[in-house]
Amino acid sequence: MRRLWLLSILPLFACMTPASRGAGTIVSASESPPSAWTDQEKTKDSVIRNLRESPEASFHVLRVQGELSLRIHRSSDLVLMVVAGQVELRLGDRTIPSAPGDVVEVPREVPYAIVNRGKEAAVLYAVYTPGFNPDDVKTISEPTGSGAWKFNLWTQ
């Protein structure tokens, strides 16, 4: 009897939940981004657009015409999915040729860069956890000379 009573009031709690966030966004190679890229965005090497944010994560579409320079995020993990184009992803001391459908996980504090290797701009879907904070990005200069050090992702 107690279970039956609980089941009868559960729909009331469902009605009290916040309104839904909407239908979401489709980021697909066969469809243009949520709104077409502006002429100003097309002139830049890379552009990031915020699609949605939550307390736990932020969701973006990234357009790379040329290169996204070597950088780290101090307090966010990043997942990148190549949606369109041919890119070369640098992750630590590895270089990974990537194509649509490839997914790359970039842990916080691991350096990464993206280079477009195609004729058209590449489009990537990016998820930051916790959400993207521009103050969290640290650009890294390329080491030079014979004493140059390499990033090591694996514990020796």
Beta strands in the chain (DSSP E): 46-53, 58-64, 67-73, 77-84, 87-91, 94-98, 103-106, 112-116, 122-129, 137-139
Cα separation values, 16 from 8, 9, 22, Å: 15, 11, 17
| pLDDT score of 18 | 45
pLDDT confidence band for 21 (50 / 70 / 90) = low
Q: pLDDT by residue (tens digit) across 71-126?
A: 999 999 999 999 999 999 999 999 999 999 999 999 999 999 999 999 999 999 99
Alpha-carbon Rg for the chain, nearest whole angstrom, is 20
What is the identity of the amino acid at 106? V
Helix (H) / strand (E) element for 2: namely helix 2-15
SS3 42: helix
Report helix, strand and coil shares of the chain as percent, to nearest 5.
15, 40, 50
With a cut of 80, say whether residue 35 has pLDDT above it: no
Q: pLDDT by residue (tens digit) across 120-150?
A: 999 999 999 999 988 889 998 865 444 444 4
pLDDT confidence band for 37 (50 / 70 / 90) = confident
pTM of the model: 0.74
Q: Looking at domain 39-139, which of 2.60.120.10, 3.90.245.10, 1.10.1370.30, 2.40.128.20 is its CATH number?
A: 2.60.120.10
| pLDDT score of 71 | 96
**Best CA proximity match to 150, nearest among 140, 137, 139, 135:** 140
With a cut of 80, say whether residue 14 has pLDDT above it: no
Domain boundaries of the chain, sorted by first residue: 39-139
